């Protein structure tokens, strides 16, 4: 495809955009349990209007657009209040949780180099259940991830954290909550270890910080501790575009005070252009997410967020109770926030995923790990309040269908799995391509059924899975007229 020689009309443009949008999952139905966090049409409209008002404004130079600086500092102050940061806490708005986590590790490495200029090796201690963004950050910044085990309740093992500390350790991280299990790590215990060893301690509250914070403010019982009120916590990442219900592209990285945040900044004095000082990874970006976050948070206020938190937690409890009541299903552990995973004790979860898809429900599948078998994941939000009974009814029907069918043991499937395993023994580019084609990952197409593919992925070595997915995505984002 080449750029058209002459422009097309506004009407035709939006006709084509609407046609493309028909391929997408209709998230406004609430039948999706990831990626989007609808809180109602009015909030969506406020976010959109505020976003478009500042679509072209650029926060790279705060002297040009002081409105963006004002809104960002006000949003950060509101987040500090939720996280019990006090007057000294500071922060920066980023484009998402991954950028916040990247910056937290960059901050730790820069601080370590400032304290010990001769240090050449850097390590961070992370629990097995930490978000993948930490591994991504380690890859980007050449930091070694030291992974510690979990306890029986799927939380980070505090004793293992202490035992893992070396002279190269620059940061300890924990989850509030972990994505897969929905539980909060023992923040207070780990905080004591961080203080004892003069280490930074980062809390990944990207997906759960808003909910946990407003659960506390709403006066709910047994809300896990996770914020700056706990000694030893030096930084927290919290996404506003998730349970903050603001527009996509907005997270916050909070620091205990300015002495920590200064290590996050980057300034360039080597080039001949304009003065460049960046608090975040991106330089130029739209001011839309900042304005949308300010508008939505001002609109909802503490009472609005507390009301949504009550609804969300009540809805989550109904889902968990209903799923545990279905024969052959079991929720993993004891989730403490509004996200959780469940697995099958009869039948296969990947078959169940396909059956739910056929009924118009989208949940996330997750491969097995050292602590639990393959499972399905639900992130519950306000929109799901009126859909619990419908989902549980369809889920029960799908479970019964999967159990009747049983675990597929066709000869052709066994041959396919064995063929992929054999190819995986020699990780050549040609074999990666063959594996991708066997799995159905070719020509930028997504297979309609994923159960067999997921079972195969579950038995392949991690390196094979990683490289196969990279090859697939590399192909997926190539224009294919036949797709």
| pLDDT for res 413 | 65
Number of structural domains found in the chain:
3
Query: Does residue 184 fall inside a structural domain?
Result: yes
| pLDDT for res 415 | 65
**pLDDT (mean) for 297-316:** 98
**pLDDT (mean) for 290-295:** 98
Query: Does residue 114 fall inside a structural domain?
Result: yes
Same domain assignment for residues 246 and 347:
no
Same domain assignment for residues 64 and 155:
yes
In terms of Cα–Cα distance, which of 311, 304, 330 is closest to 384? 311
**pLDDT (mean) for 145-172:** 98
Helix, strand, coil % (nearest 5) of the chain?
45, 15, 40
In terms of Cα–Cα distance, which of 269, 258, 265 is closest to 234? 258
Range of the domain at 429: 411-476
Whether 477 has a pLDDT exceeding 70, the answer reads yes
Q: Is the pTM of this model over 0.85?
A: yes
pLDDT band at 445 (very low <50, low <70, confident <90, very high): low
Query: Does residue 34 fall inside a structural domain?
Result: no
Whether 319 has a pLDDT exceeding 60, the answer reads yes
Whether 284 has a pLDDT exceeding 90, the answer reads yes
Last residue of a domain, one of 267, 297, 327: 297
Q: Which stretch of 99-113, 175-189, 345-359 has the lowest confidence by average pLDDT?
A: 345-359
| pLDDT for res 470 | 78
**pLDDT (mean) for 314-322:** 98
Higher local confidence (pLDDT), 464 or 124: 124
Last residue of a domain, one of 387, 405, 423: 405
In terms of Cα–Cα distance, which of 310, 404, 405, 395 is closest to 361? 395
As a residue count, the chain comes to 483
pLDDT band at 54 (very low <50, low <70, confident <90, very high): very high
- CATH number reported for the structural domain that contains residue 238 in this entry: 3.40.640.10
**pLDDT (mean) for 212-216:** 98
Whether 71 has a pLDDT exceeding 70, the answer reads yes
| pLDDT for res 148 | 98
Strand partners, 319: none
**pLDDT (mean) for 439-451:** 68
Whether 479 has a pLDDT exceeding 90, the answer reads no
Cα 239 from Cα 207, distance rounded (Å): 6
Same domain assignment for residues 260 and 401:
no
Helix (H) or strand (E) segment spanning residue 19: helix 10-21
**pLDDT (mean) for 14-34:** 94
Higher local confidence (pLDDT), 303 or 459: 303
Query: Does residue 466 fall inside a structural domain?
Result: yes
**pLDDT (mean) for 154-174:** 98
pLDDT averaged over the chain? 92
- CATH number reported for the structural domain that contains residue 360 in this entry: 3.90.1150.10
Share of the chain above pLDDT 70, in %: 93
Query: Does residue 3 fall inside a structural domain?
Result: no
Whether 481 has a pLDDT exceeding 90, the answer reads no
Model pLDDT for residues 88-115, shown as the tens digit of each residue: 999 999 999 999 999 999 999 999 999 9
Same domain assignment for residues 151 and 246:
yes
Query: Does residue 481 fall inside a structural domain?
Result: no
Same domain assignment for residues 399 and 471:
no
Model pLDDT for residues 58-69, shown as the tens digit of each residue: 999 989 999 999
Same domain assignment for residues 343 and 258:
no
Residue 38 CB neighbours (<10 A): 17
Model pLDDT for residues 374-409, shown as the tens digit of each residue: 999 999 999 999 999 999 999 999 999 998 876 544
| pLDDT for res 156 | 98
| pLDDT for res 474 | 76
Same domain assignment for residues 270 and 232:
yes
Same domain assignment for residues 253 and 183:
yes
Query: Does residue 38 fall inside a structural domain?
Result: no
Last residue of a domain, one of 297, 320, 351: 297
pLDDT band at 480 (very low <50, low <70, confident <90, very high): low
Whole-angstrom CA distances from 242 to 6, 77, 295, 407 are 40, 18, 15, 36
Same domain assignment for residues 200 and 317:
no
Model pLDDT for residues 411-422, shown as the tens digit of each residue: 556 667 777 777
pLDDT band at 444 (very low <50, low <70, confident <90, very high): low
Task: Write out the two tokens for 449.
Answer: 């059924």
Cα 392 from Cα 407, distance rounded (Å): 22
Same domain assignment for residues 246 and 348:
no
H-assigned helices in 325-444? 349-358, 388-405, 411-424, 429-439
Query: Does residue 358 fall inside a structural domain?
Result: yes
Same domain assignment for residues 292 and 306:
no
Same domain assignment for residues 236 and 118:
yes
């Amino acid at each position: 495809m080449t750029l058209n020689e002459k422009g097309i009309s506004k009407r035709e443009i939006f006709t084509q955009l609407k046609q493309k949008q028909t391929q997408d999952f209709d998230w406004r139905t609430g039948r999706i349990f990831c990626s989007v966090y609808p809180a109602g049409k009015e909030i969506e409209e406020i976010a959109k209007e505020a976003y478009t008002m500042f679509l072209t404004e650029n926060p790279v130079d705060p002297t040009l657009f002081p409105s963006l600086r004002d809104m960002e500092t006000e949003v950060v102050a509101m987040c500090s209040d939720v996280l019990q940061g006090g007057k000294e806490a500071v922060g920066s708005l980023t484009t998402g949780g991954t950028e916040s986590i990247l910056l937290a590790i960059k901050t730790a490495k820069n601080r370590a180099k400032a304290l010990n200029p001769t240090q050449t090796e850097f390590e961070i201690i992370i629990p097995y259940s930490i978000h993948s963004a930490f591994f991504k950050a380690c890859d980007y910044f050449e930091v070694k991830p030291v992974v510690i085990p979990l306890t029986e309740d799927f939380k980070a093992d505090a004793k293992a954290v202490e035992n893992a500390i070396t002279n190269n350790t620059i940061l300890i991280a924990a989850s509030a909550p972990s994505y897969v299990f929905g539980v909060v790590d023992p923040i207070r215990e780990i905080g004591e270890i961080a203080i004892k060893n003069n280490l930074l301690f980062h809390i990944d509250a990207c997906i759960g910080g808003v909910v946990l914070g407003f659960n506390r403010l709403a006066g709910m019982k047994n809300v896990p501790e996770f914020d700056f009120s706990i000694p030893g916590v030096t930084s927290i990442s919290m996404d506003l575009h998730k349970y903050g219900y603001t527009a996509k592209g907005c997270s916050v990285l909070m620091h205990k005070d300015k002495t920590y945040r200064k290590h996050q900044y980057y300034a360039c004095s080597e080039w001949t252009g304009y003065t460049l000082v960046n608090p975040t990874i991106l330089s130029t970006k739209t001011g839309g997410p900042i304005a949308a976050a300010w508008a939505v948070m001002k609109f909802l206020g503490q009472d609005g967020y507390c009301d949504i938190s009550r609804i969300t937690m009540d809805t989550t409890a109904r889902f968990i109770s209903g799923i545990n009541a279905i024969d052959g299903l079991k929720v993993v552990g004891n989730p403490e926030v509004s996200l959780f995973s469940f697995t099958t004790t009869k039948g296969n979860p990947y078959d169940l995923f396909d059956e739910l898809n056929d009924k118009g429900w989208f949940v996330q599948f997750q491969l097995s790990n050292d602590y639990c078998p393959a499972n399905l994941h639900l992130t519950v939000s306000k929109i799901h309040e009126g859909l619990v009974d419908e989902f549980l009814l369809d889920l029960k029907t799908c479970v019964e269908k999967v159990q009747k069918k049983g675990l597929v043991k066709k000869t052709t499937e066994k041959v396919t799995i064995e063929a992929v395993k054999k190819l995986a023994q020699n990780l050549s580019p040609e074999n990666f391509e063959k594996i991708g084609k066997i799995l159905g990952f070719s020509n930028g197409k997504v297979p309609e059924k994923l159960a067999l593919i997921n079972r195969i992925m579950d038995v392949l070595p991690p390196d094979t899975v990683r490289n196969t997915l990279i090859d697939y995505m590399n192909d997926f984002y190539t224009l294919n007229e036949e797709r």
